Structure 1
Amino acid sequence: MRLPRESCKRHFARSIALLGVLLVSACGQTETPPAATTTTVSTVAPVATDDRRTFTGDWTTIGSRQVMDLGPGQQAAVFQLSGSLLLSGQQRINRGFQAHLIGFSDTTTGMQGRSVWTDEHGDKVFSELSGEGIGPGQLIEGKFVGGSGRYVGISGEYSFKWKRLGAIEGNELTGRVVGLSGWARLGSPSAVAPTTAGGPK
């Protein structure tokens, strides 16, 4: 059945109007933004840990010295001492070392020395020493200045007095350390070179 021409025009007009309404509705819609993500920032500060290790020790030494007279009451001497050093304390850096010290002492300027402590694995601790002299009862102070192996980056201080054992015979110098005490901090583990079971390559 064929519709009259006026009826077709009215039907076409209604279709165009409906399509226009749909297009306007679609263009008017706005996209809903995604919900904001909330990030929780922790305000808890890291807990500081004190890695300071205190220790005491005993050190029996044997060595030699060479003395030069510089006039009435004035002397200069070079000396070297070595012996077994045993440390005590729950936080000691190691139980024992073979310790070696060399130094120069002058009655006017005092004593300056250097020391190396070597443990059972061959790792070393280096220190500088200073004091009034190497005479009995005189205070000697040490400062750790580095090391090798597990002692890389070590820092700290120690002090002691030296007591002579027996009379001096020739250039021989025998004694022991009295009142050795101090503290140390080991360096960061990342600073230590890795080793394998067969030793460093």
Structure 2
Amino acid sequence: MNLLPGQQAVIFQVSGSMMLSGKQRLNRAFQSEAMGFSDTTTGLQGRSVWTDEHGDKVFSELSGEGFGPSQLIEGKFTGGTGRYTGISGEYSFKWQRLGAIEGDELAGRVVGLQGSARLGSPNVNSPTAAGGSR
């Protein structure tokens, strides 16, 4: 939605596969879904759910300057189900658009994913991008 000159507001919903690398990753792969609101005045607010192959989920809050290309988005883990119950930690990434917007469809991927998570046990895990998309 175009607002005042140079101001826009966007509601977004994205989903896709996410691959993690690193020796202490949470899991090898997740199906990821995120939705939220972004405007050029107040920034981005959203929520994300990562689901593993067993159906266990990781929940997080998203915030940042916006949903535009190369803008930093930060996530804070807020909980989970199954083996991720009690998870805490933070992560960050940038969104990279792939191709033109066609109608309501936007293709893109996450780049530079980094952060750390603490499960209910004392293990510390570090999600690191491996070319996955979201």
Normalising by structure 1, report the TM-score.
Answer: 0.59
Deviations 1:74-95 (CA, angstroms, capped at 9, x unpaired): 1111000000010101101111
The answer on 1:74 being equivalent to 2:25 is no
Q: Which amino acid aligns with 1:78?
A: I
How many positions carry a matched residue from both structures?
A: 122
Deviations 1:93-148 (CA, angstroms, capped at 9, x unpaired): 11110000001001100001100000000000000010001101100000100000
The answer on 1:132 being equivalent to 2:65 is yes
The answer on 1:153 being equivalent to 2:86 is yes
- Structure with greater Cα Rg: 1
Q: Which amino acid aligns with 2:117?
A: A
- Normalized per residue, which structure has more strand? 2
Match runs of 1:60-139 below 5 Å: 68-139=1-72
CA distance in structure 2 between the aligned counterparts of 1:188 and 1:114, rounded to whole angstroms: 24
Q: CA deviation at 1:182?
A: 0.9
Greater RCO between the two (CA within 8 Å, min separation 6)? Answer: 2
Q: CA deviation at 1:71?
A: 2.0
Match runs of 1:172-183 below 5 Å: 172-183=105-116
Q: Among all aligned residue pairs of Structure 1 and Structure 2, give the percentage whose two residues are the same amino acid.
A: 80
Q: Which amino acid aligns with 1:70?
A: L
Query: CA RMSD for the aligned pairs?
Result: 1.1
- Normalized per residue, which structure has more helix? 1
Q: Which amino acid aligns with 1:154?
A: I
Unaligned runs of 5+ in 2: 123-134
Deviations 1:48-91 (CA, angstroms, capped at 9, x unpaired): xxxxxxxxxxxxxxxxxxxx121211111100000001010110
